[in-house]
Structure 1
Amino acid sequence: MHHYGLANVWDQGDIVTRGILIVLLIMSILSWTVIVVKLWNLVRIRRMTNHAEASFWQSDHLEDGLKTLGGNASSHRGNPFLALALAGKEAATHLPQAQPHLHDRIDASDWITHRLKDTMDEAVARLQSGLAVLASIGATAPFVGLFGTVWGIYHALIVIGETGQTSIDHVAGPVGESLIMTAFGLFVAIPAVLGYNGLTRANKTIVRKLNRFAHGLHAYFVTGSHVSSGTRNDMRVVTRDESETNEGVLKWH
């Protein structure tokens, strides 16, 4: 039995067979790296914002609310909720300072909407980074393994034809070793597909929370209500009646 197995495929394989094994190994390492890193980031974001969002709306002042979200401007890249709050604050602060240039051209609601939307797009892009790698590996790994199987069987048949040995004990080894390539391809592809689906579903949950939080920020910075538990209802998503008189409600979904 020591003559069979993946090690024997490597020892007896040519440069193409070894190249396919290396490619599949690299694909596996990449997919697991992306899965582990993205899962760690998702867990970190959830821990960071599990209670921070509710605490933010219950804060007495905006600065206190920003502290509950996790810190200062230097740490906002890893915290999309803090990034949204800082972007809204920056937009609301910048507009009055630029009144001689922008106030007559850009509505306050539209300007804040634009800044929040840009920040949302950046946060979603960071959440989705790496998923294309998983999708590509999940789609191509089985075919790479299948190509290795076809290549291995082709060479096994050549050897069988040259030696004239057609008994089952001579055929089973080379053909079975070639089929290992297909199994290796599936071993690489299945975690990538499952990881892609799981991470996509988790990202959608976070994006929904970000959208809800962004709508609340938009209402707050436009109306100027204080961030406190007593005025939490004032920072809801703009109602239908209000939207008829305010065309600046957030327009992304």
Structure 2
Amino acid sequence: MEQTVGFAHYWAQGDAVSHAVAYVLLVMSIASWYYILSKTWSSWRIRRSSNALDGFWKAPTLTDAIAAMQDVDSEEIYVPLALRSSEAASISSKQQGAPSLNAATDPGELITRTLRREINRVSARLERGLTLLASVGSTAPFVGLFGTVWGIYHALAAVSASGTVQIDKVAGPVGEALIMTALGLVVAIPAVLAYNAFTRINRLTLAELDGFAHDLHAYLTTGERVGERQS
């Protein structure tokens, strides 16, 4: 009778360890795809809102510029820098002579500290989920390989117990066990590709954010942008 070979047969013949490996790969896949889809949507909206940086400086006042950017920056990546830095500038001017640490701090340093804090907050938000994607991409193949080795071990043990060694009795169970390695690669490859893509997008976003912070600092301390001062 021809032996049925496939994942269903491997699952039926597998033990608790084989099933546990499959469940671990399933959880890894669900978690990675959740972050892949959610961060893809978030990254698309972030890159779309980056076009508003040039329009920010075309507004007549800082209040108008912030209001215009709030309509575009749905992910709140660039707006908090303008809001918090303008608040820091107003606080430093209102608290002159008041007994506080902010009053004792140079206005430029207070604005710099505020901008640095907001950039760190945005950076932490952008990197959320990347550690999981990197972990899945690096460990999923080895988890699948462990399932393969475990399956091959049990297949060879079953053949040895039967007392007859035939190639058709060995090839089927071994081929089924190799399915776990394939599943590990199926889980790992999208996670690795997504990690590289999101890392590049985050690097571009942080570079634009850093330039925007420098322009804001120059405007709030001197009243002009860096490029205008250099020209």
TM-score (norm 1): 0.84
1:28 is matched with 29
CA distance in 1, matches of 2:206, 2:111: 19
Residue deviations 1:86-122 (CA, integer Å, cap 9, x gap)? 1111111111222223466211110000000000000
Aligned to 2:202: 203
**Paired position in structure 1 for 2:173:** 174
Q: Distance in 2 between matches of 1:238 and 1:114?
A: 23
8 A Cα contact 1:96 1:103, kept in partner: no
Query: What is the aligned counterpart of 1:85 among 82, 86, 89?
Result: 82
Aligned residues: 227
> Who is 2:158 aligned against?
159
Equivalent position to 1:235, from 188, 202, 225: 225
Q: Which ranges in structure 1 are unaligned for 5 or more consecutive residues?
A: 226-233, 241-253
**Percent identical residues:** 46
Q: Does 1:55 align with 2:52?
A: no
Q: 1:104 to 1:47 in 2, by over 3 A?
A: closer
- State the distance in 2 between where 1:177 and 1:157 align: 12
Moved over 4 A (4+): 237-240
- Give the whole-Å Cα distance in 1 for the aligned partners of 2:85 and 2:38: 29
Cα distance change of structure 1 residues 122 and 104 upon mapping to structure 2, 3 Å threshold: closer
Q: Deviations over 1:15-67 (max 9, x none)?
A: 110010010011011111111111110101112232x1111100001111012
Quick check: 2:92–2:103 contact (8 Å CA) kept in 1? no
| TM-aligned CA deviation for residue 182 of structure 1 | 0.9
Kindly indicate whether the alpha-carbon contact (under 8 Å) linking 2:112 and 2:217 is maintained by their aligned counterparts in 1: yes
Distance 1:84 1:132 in 2: 26
Relative to 1, partners in 2 of residues 1:112 and 1:161: Cα closer, same or farther, differing over 3 Å?
same
Q: Hey, what's the Cα distance between the residues in 2 that align with 1:209 and 1:3?
A: 58
Change (3 A) 1:66 1:46: same
Distance in 1 separating the partners of 2:163 and 2:80: 70
2:91 maps to 94
Pairwise CA distance, 1:238: 9.3
- The answer (yes or no) to whether the contact 2:7–2:179 under 8 Å persists in 1 is yes
In structure 2, C-alpha distance between the alignment counterparts of 1:58 and 1:28, rounded to whole Å? 45
Is structure 2 residue 176 aligned with structure 1 residue 186? no
Q: In the TM superposition, what is the alpha-carbon distance from 1:199 to its structure 2 partner?
A: 0.6
**Alpha-carbon distance in 2 for matches of 1:36, 1:103:** 42
Q: Find the residue that maps to 1:70 and give its secondary structure.
A: helix
Q: Which amino acid aligns with 1:206?
A: T
Any stretches of 5+ residues in structure 2 without a counterpart?
none
1:41 matched to 2:38? The reply is no
- Residue 229 of structure 1 aligns with which residue? none
- Specify whether residues 104 and 184 from structure 1 end up closer, same or farther in structure 2 by C-alpha distance, changes over 3 A only: closer
Distance 2:57 2:215 in 1: 9
Is the contact made by 1:81 and 1:210 (CA closer than 8 Å) also made in structure 2? yes
User: CA-to-partner distance for each residue in 1:120-172, whole Å, 9 max, x for gaps?
Assistant: 00001000000000011111111111110110011001110111232121111
Scaled by the length of structure 2, what TM-score is found?
A: 0.92
Name the SS for the 2:59 alignment partner: coil
1:69 corresponds to: 69
Once residues 54 and 193 of structure 1 are traced to their aligned partners in structure 2, the CA distance between those partners, rounded to angstroms, is 33
